[in-house]
Amino acid sequence: MKIYLVRHGLTDWNIERRFQGIEDIPLNDTGRKQARDCGQALTSLSFAAIYASPLQRAYETATIITDKLNGYHKEHGRNDSVLTVKADSRLIERDFGKVSGLLPKDRKVFLESGEDANMEEFEHLTERLMAAMKEYQEENQGKNVLVITHGGVINAILHVLSKGEIGTGKTLVANTSIAILDDDGGNLKIETYNMKISDL
């Protein structure tokens, strides 16, 4: 099986380079188009399940992608494979605490102040994410799954699986880019990351 990790579409906060944590920021029109394009690109693949963060920027991305996949299936007579989005709170973005929502210049000032930002502990973040990945492996053995989530989430997973070579602090995950994790005998390995939908 393979787990396809997709970052949500663009938001206004992404454009402003604000940290988006647990705030429920919506997609903008560009983000919705990105989601539609991503869904179209994914029609060449089959998925047993689709999981998404319940935050609206990820959940709406997932809904748009799922609608595209179901439309394609219907058009090609595959009505037995209707997909639904399963919200999973473990896929929510990291809580960035006091730096969440700050513009880059304000974030720099805060971090230089030495004040505790009160972020979600990285260990807690990775524990909840890897528990979710393990569950998806167990529930969908031999079948591909699609996960729509956040940049910080994908980076944390990449960090764990690469033992810190890539991911958190090193990798900028693009909106609606794709990372593919391959289940190799129960162990997840990174096949690719930051893949453009045009490369599918």
- At 170, which amino acid appears? K
Determine the Cα–Cα distance for residues 157 and 159; give it in Å rounded to an integer.
Answer: 5
CA 199 to chain centroid, in Å, comes to 18
Q: What is the pLDDT of residue 62?
A: 98
- Domain membership of residue 115 (yes or no) is no
- Residue ranges in the chain whose pLDDT is less than 50: none
Q: Say which residues have a Cβ less than 8 Å from residue 26's Cβ, sequence separation at least 6.
A: 11, 56, 57, 60
Structure token pair of residue 120: 């979600």
Determine the Cα–Cα distance for residues 65 and 51; give it in Å rounded to an integer.
Answer: 11
- Domain membership of residue 101 (yes or no) is no
- Domain membership of residue 146 (yes or no) is yes
> Is the Cβ–Cβ distance between 171 and 155 less than 8 Å?
yes
CATH code of 66's domain: 3.40.50.1240
Structurally, the chain folds into a number of domains equal to 1
Q: Is 116 annotated as a binding residue?
A: no
Q: What is the pLDDT of residue 79?
A: 65
Q: Is 9 annotated as a binding residue?
A: yes
Q: What is the pLDDT of residue 64?
A: 98
Residue numbers annotated as active site: 8, 93
- Domain membership of residue 22 (yes or no) is yes
- Domain membership of residue 151 (yes or no) is yes
Q: Which domain holds residue 158?
A: 2-94+122-199
> The tokens 């998806």 sit on which residue?
136
E-strand ranges in 65-186 read 85-87, 145-149, 178-184
pTM over 0.85: yes
Q: Is 149 annotated as a binding residue?
A: no
- Domain membership of residue 13 (yes or no) is yes
- Domain membership of residue 136 (yes or no) is yes
- Domain membership of residue 187 (yes or no) is yes
**Interval 182-193: pLDDT, tens:** 998 899 999 999
> Is the Cβ–Cβ distance between 106 and 34 less than 8 Å?
no
Q: Is 199 annotated as a binding residue?
A: no
Determine the Cα–Cα distance for residues 146 and 150; give it in Å rounded to an integer.
Answer: 13
